[in-house]
Amino acid sequence: MSDLAKRFLLEFKRFSPQDVSLILENTCIESFKKGEFVLHEHVVSNKCYLVVQGSLRQFKLIDGVEKTSAFFFEGDPLISYSGYLRNEPSDYAFQCLEDTILISGTKDQELKIRQTNPLLEYLAHHIMVNDFKKAENYISLLNNFSPEERYQLLLKNNPELFNRVALVYIASYLGITPESLSRIRKRIVKTKN
């Protein structure tokens, strides 16, 4: 499995073989089965992850209903900032949608790597900026578009999502019920014919 992680990290053009060795020496490789949780809601985690293989969703239970707010695929960082940065319980759960392989590291391991290699300081900053941009885009999607527009934007910008994620989770992500998503999909097909 470390060969898979090594090949994966080398695909990031910024990492030299020495960088990859340093990262792998100071992190762990974890595997999860489809349906397993990497982190449960209300649990403190001081780990950060990088998805090597597989897919996951981030969700929160609100009034007994799971509300999906993000998806993660190969190359995506996976972090509960509340736990990682503030040592507080996670606001979200992270569940595997497929068999998944992650590179994991703790805050202490990250600091050790960053002291040895300043490039990883840039990587940590880059990851945080991308995560905040992803969160902004999601808030904009929910606040500025109708359910049908949300669906069409998601289909246009992330078509691969529909091949890897169950429609029930996509509906939740779009802030609608599975029944509403079904009606939207039927309406779109009808207008195309």
pTM for the predicted model, two decimal places: 0.89
Tell me the range of 12-16, 55-59, 135-139 where mean pLDDT is highest.
Answer: 55-59
Tokens 């569940």, located at residue = 95
C-alpha 45/C-alpha 51 separation (Å) is 17
Instruction: Please indicate, yes or no, whether residues 192 and 140 belong to a single structural domain of this protein.
Output: no
Q: Residue 29 belongs to a domain with what CATH number?
A: 2.60.120.10
Q: What is the pLDDT of residue 83?
A: 84
Instruction: Please indicate, yes or no, whether residues 40 and 50 belong to a single structural domain of this protein.
Output: yes
114 contacts: CB under 8 Å, gap ≥ 6 = 120, 121, 124
Instruction: Please indicate, yes or no, whether residues 31 and 16 belong to a single structural domain of this protein.
Output: yes
Instruction: Please indicate, yes or no, whether residues 47 and 88 belong to a single structural domain of this protein.
Output: yes
Instruction: Please indicate, yes or no, whether residues 114 and 129 belong to a single structural domain of this protein.
Output: yes
Distances (CA, A) of 75 to 13, 51, 174: 13, 5, 23
Instruction: Please indicate, yes or no, whether residues 117 and 29 belong to a single structural domain of this protein.
Output: yes
Instruction: Please indicate, yes or no, whether residues 130 and 87 belong to a single structural domain of this protein.
Output: yes
Burial class of residue 173 (count of CB atoms within 10 Å of its CB; 0-12, 13-18, 19+): buried
Look at residues 8, 61, 59, 85 and name the one whose alpha carbon lies nearest to residue 165: 59
Q: What is the pLDDT of residue 143?
A: 95
Number of domains in the chain: 2
Instruction: Please indicate, yes or no, whether residues 140 and 156 belong to a single structural domain of this protein.
Output: no
The answer to whether 104 and 41 are in contact (CB under 8 A) is no
Q: What is the pLDDT of residue 130?
A: 84
C-alpha 100/C-alpha 102 separation (Å) is 7
User: Could you give the residue ranges of the DSSP H alpha helices within 58-177?
Assistant: 81-86, 107-116, 119-144, 147-157, 161-164, 167-174
Instruction: Please indicate, yes or no, whether residues 134 and 102 belong to a single structural domain of this protein.
Output: yes
> Which pLDDT band holds residue 34 (cuts at 50, 70, 90)?
very high
Residue 170: give the domain boundaries.
Answer: 146-193
Q: What is the pLDDT of residue 43?
A: 94
User: Across the chain, what does the average pLDDT equal?
Assistant: 89
Q: What is the pLDDT of residue 24?
A: 83
| Interval 69-107: pLDDT, tens | 999 999 888 999 888 888 899 999 999 999 999 999 988
Distance of CA 83 to the CA centre of its chain: 16
Residue 8: Cβ within 10 Å count: 18
Question: What is the average per-residue pLDDT within 34-49?
Answer: 94
| Interval 98-153: pLDDT, tens | 999 999 998 888 888 888 877 777 777 777 888 889 999 999 999 999 999 999 99
> Which pLDDT band holds residue 10 (cuts at 50, 70, 90)?
confident
Distances (CA, A) of 174 to 71, 114, 117, 131: 12, 37, 40, 18
Q: What is the pLDDT of residue 193?
A: 64
Instruction: Please indicate, yes or no, whether residues 92 and 50 belong to a single structural domain of this protein.
Output: yes
C-alpha 91/C-alpha 44 separation (Å) is 9
Q: What is the pLDDT of residue 41?
A: 95
Instruction: Please indicate, yes or no, whether residues 113 and 177 belong to a single structural domain of this protein.
Output: no
Instruction: Please indicate, yes or no, whether residues 126 and 190 belong to a single structural domain of this protein.
Output: no
Q: What is the pLDDT of residue 1?
A: 59
